[in-house]
């Protein structure tokens, strides 16, 4: 779609570029008028369809509008470098697609390097209750006989197997089972007294 100057003088409509060359006034003012008129015409005819295109690509209406507006601003600024003004809409579409890709790449980088959120911190009350429970368990463990305490600590704190506990304590696996079972029973009884 060629961009034509309004027919004010009663002459045939001519292409803007033809008018500028014919008058010999291809200066900064004439080129600015050319870009303003052409981009305004493109904007009024194609803005909505370009926003829909960008919205389908970036999945966000606000960002799509920004992408399209940036494409129009860039086209206006580079209008003199445009080789074929009849293909301006094609250039705009390509610019919208490229800018949408840039937005998506930027989002991917931001998501990749976004700081990880801190896990939910327990309340002060939960911390106090947990501390009381730990101190009650430690106190109850201190009341157990040494072998039972060692067997329970190696099993549930150090997470060792029965064979590893037997090797560490220098006793048989059967003795480890016996000390662990007796220790758990005694620990349960002591903790029930505290409750």
Which of the four pLDDT bands, split at 50, 70 and 90, describes residue 48?
very high
Can you give the length of the chain in residues?
A: 195
The residue assigned the tokens 């368990």 is 137
Q: Are 101 and 58 in contact (CB under 8 A)?
A: no
Q: Judge if 53 and 106 occupy the same domain.
A: yes
User: For residue range 4-45, what is the model confidence (pLDDT) as tens digits?
Assistant: 444 444 444 444 444 333 444 344 444 455 889 999 999 999
Q: Judge if 111 and 139 occupy the same domain.
A: no
Q: Report the share of the chain in percent with pLDDT over 70.
A: 82
Tell me the chain's radius of gyration from C-alpha atoms: 39
pLDDT, residue 126, reads 81
* pTM given for the model: 0.47
* Domain boundaries, position 111: 34-116
User: In total, how many domains does the chain have?
Assistant: 2
Domain boundary among 53, 81, 116: 116
Q: Judge if 38 and 112 occupy the same domain.
A: yes
Per the model's pLDDT, the better-predicted residue between 178 and 119 turns out to be: 178
Q: Is 65 in a helix, a strand, or coil?
A: helix
Rounded-to-integer distance, Cα 29 and Cα 140, Å: 92
Kindly state the average pLDDT of the residues 148-164.
Answer: 90
User: For residue range 139-154, what is the model confidence (pLDDT) as tens digits?
Assistant: 888 888 989 999 998 8
Which of the four pLDDT bands, split at 50, 70 and 90, describes residue 121?
confident
């Amino acid at each position: 779609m060629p961009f034509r100057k309004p027919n004010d003088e009663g002459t045939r409509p001519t292409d803007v570029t033809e008018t500028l060359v014919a008058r010999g006034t291809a200066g900064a003012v004439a080129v600015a008028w050319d870009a303003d008129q052409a981009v305004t015409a493109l904007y009024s005819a194609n803005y909505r369809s370009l926003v829909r295109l960008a919205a389908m690509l970036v999945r966000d209406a606000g960002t799509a509008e920004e992408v399209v507006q940036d494409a129009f601003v860039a086209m206006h600024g580079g209008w003199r470098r445009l080789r074929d003004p009849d293909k301006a809409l094609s250039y705009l579409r390509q610019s919208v697609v490229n800018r949408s890709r840039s937005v998506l790449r930027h989002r991917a980088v931001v998501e990749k390097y976004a700081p990880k959120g801190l896990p939910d911190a327990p309340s002060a009350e939960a911390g106090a209750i947990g501390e009381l429970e730990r101190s009650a368990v430690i106190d109850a463990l201190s009341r157990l006989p040494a072998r039972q305490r060692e067997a329970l600590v190696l099993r549930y704190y150090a997470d060792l197997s029965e064979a590893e506990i037997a090797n560490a304590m220098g006793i048989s696996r059967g003795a480890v089972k016996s000390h662990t079972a007796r220790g758990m029973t005694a620990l349960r009884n002591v903790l029930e007294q505290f409750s």
